[in-house]
Structure 1
Amino acid sequence: MDEFAFVADMAVRFRDLDPWDHVNNAVYGTYLEQARIEYMDEVLADTVGSRTFVLVHQELTYDAPITYGQDLTVAVRASEMGTSSLTFTYEVRADGEAVATAETTQVYMDDEEPAPLPETWREAIRDFEPGLA
């Protein structure tokens, strides 16, 4: 996780498990969402008023199962900024081992349609992610 400046701790809840005692595949999306929101809360803390994002793409690769009782972390970084979109890359780890990777793209919305990302957000993200163009 060296290339990630932000890591969120997660709890594996009993309700997350499937009949085989593994975290259900659909729950991974919730873990990504929680990490993304925590990232935005930290990085955009002074600049966020009303956040309106629509998830337009989510891609997950599962490498190993997560089970109840494991220490779970999700590393997240902004990997691309478009005019109105923001793409994040993730690494999900259980007990320190990579178990999944993911990418999501969100589009910033005004009342009814995509809108440009606020310049203050762009600046805050670039300050936090110096390698991001």
Structure 2
Amino acid sequence: MTGILQNYKFKTPIYIRFSDLDGFGHVNNAVYLTYFEIARTNYWQQIIQWNWNETNIILGKSEINYLKPLKLYDQIFCYVRTSRIGNSSFDMEYVIVKLTETGEEQVCTTGQTVCIHYDYNAYKSIPIPEAEKRKMMEFEGFKRRS
């Protein structure tokens, strides 16, 4: 794997539903955030194993770069990674690819979200739990701060 995908260790399939399409037969631009959410949730469940009884995550920012349209029968996957970890927030990056007729992965969409560990009772951000932070750092290969 080369280029943009070389820094990604996690990939998950995404299934395009008929209801995802707009009047022109393309995946509607608003649906891409749902695809990112599916990929992010799979990443958290399979790699990080968040303790959702103690963890609440909200999005502080989302960014999407539409490069090539997606259609109903495209076979697509989303690569996802944690690219930055702060005290109470972290950045996640996404690449949606579709398989071409020759089986190659063609990059169609890139994006980023800022995720915030949040206390709904106090209405404020709070530090990311150490266990989850450690798992993200280990999986992504971040060096521990001294």
2:67: which partner in 1?
Answer: 63
Identity over the aligned pairs, expressed in percent?
A: 29
Corresponding residue SS for 2:7: coil
1:34: which partner in 2?
Answer: 38
Pairing partner for 1:130 from 109, 116, 141: 141
CA distances 1:63-121 after superposition (whole Å, capped 9, x unpaired): 00000111110000000011100100110111121001000001101233110001111
Instruction: Tell whether 2:128 aligns with 1:117.
Output: yes
1:48: which partner in 2?
Answer: 51
Shift of 1:122: 1.1
Tell me the distance in 2 between the aligned counterparts of 1:77 and 1:58.
15
2:94: which partner in 1?
Answer: 90
In structure 1, the gaps of 5 or more residues are none
Pairing partner for 1:24 from 21, 24, 28: 28
Q: Which contiguous aligned blocks of 4+ residues in structure 1 show a shift greater than 6 angstroms?
A: none
Tell me the distance in 2 between the aligned counterparts of 1:63 and 1:82.
29
2:102: which partner in 1?
Answer: none
Corresponding residue SS for 1:8: strand
Shift of 1:49: 3.5
TM-score (norm 1): 0.94
TM-score (norm 2): 0.86
Q: Note the aligned Cα RMSD (angstroms).
A: 1.3
1:106: which partner in 2?
Answer: 115
User: Number of aligned pairs?
Assistant: 132
The structure with the largest alpha-carbon Rg is 2
Letter in 2 for 1:74: C
